[in-house]
């Protein structure tokens, strides 16, 4: 079984600053994927970034990047030059790579970007 833990229920940061959201996970699998999803207020959840566990290189998508520490089972999300539109719930999630289609989500971090 996989578990995902997000220990920061809420965070806030000034616009244009950088913020890092934390996530730890536990799995017995060797091959798995990790994700960050964003859920803006009253809007649908969207995928922000994806990381394959077998890749050592950290994934990046424009202003979003991850710090993947496999040994520590840590997967943090860094948002650079934060924008008002980044205000949302952010969920860390994992899935194993053996035909298991069940995403396991953390409890989320509510991020507020302050103008």
Partner 1 sequence: DTGVSQDPRHKITKRGQNVTFRCDPISEHNRLYWYRQTLGQGPEFLTYFQNEAQLEKSRLLSDRFSAERPKGSFSTLEIQRTEQGDSAMYLCASSSRGRSGELFFGEGSRLTVL
Per CB under 8 A, residues contacting partner 1 are: 4, 33, 35, 42-47, 50, 91, 93-95, 97, 100-108
CA distance linking residue 85 with residue 41, whole number of Å: 10
Closest distance between partner 1 and the C-beta of residue 74, in Å? 18
Among 78, 83, 75, smallest CA distance to 6 is for: 75
Closest distance between partner 1 and the C-beta of residue 79, in Å? 19
CB nearer to partner 1: pick between 3 and 14: 3
The neighbouring-strand residues paired with 79 are 19, 64
Helical H segments across 42-101, by residue range:
none
CB nearer to partner 1: pick between 87 and 104: 104
CB 67 within 8 A of CB 54: no
Closest distance between partner 1 and the C-beta of residue 101, in Å? 5
């Amino acid at each position: 079984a996989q578990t995902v833990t997000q220990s920061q229920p809420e965070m806030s940061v000034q616009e244009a600053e950088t913020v890092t959201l934390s996530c730890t996970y536990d799995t017995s699998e060797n091959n798995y994927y990790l994700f960050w999803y964003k859920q803006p207020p009253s809007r649908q959840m969207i995928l922000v970034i994806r990381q394959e566990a077998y890749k050592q290189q950290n994934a990046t998508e424009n202003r979003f990047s991850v710090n993947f520490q496999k040994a520590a089972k840590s997967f943090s999300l860094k948002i650079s030059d934060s924008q008002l539109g980044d205000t949302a719930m952010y969920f860390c999630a994992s899935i194993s790579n053996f035909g298991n289609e069940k995403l396991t989500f953390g409890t989320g971090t509510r991020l507020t970007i302050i103008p």
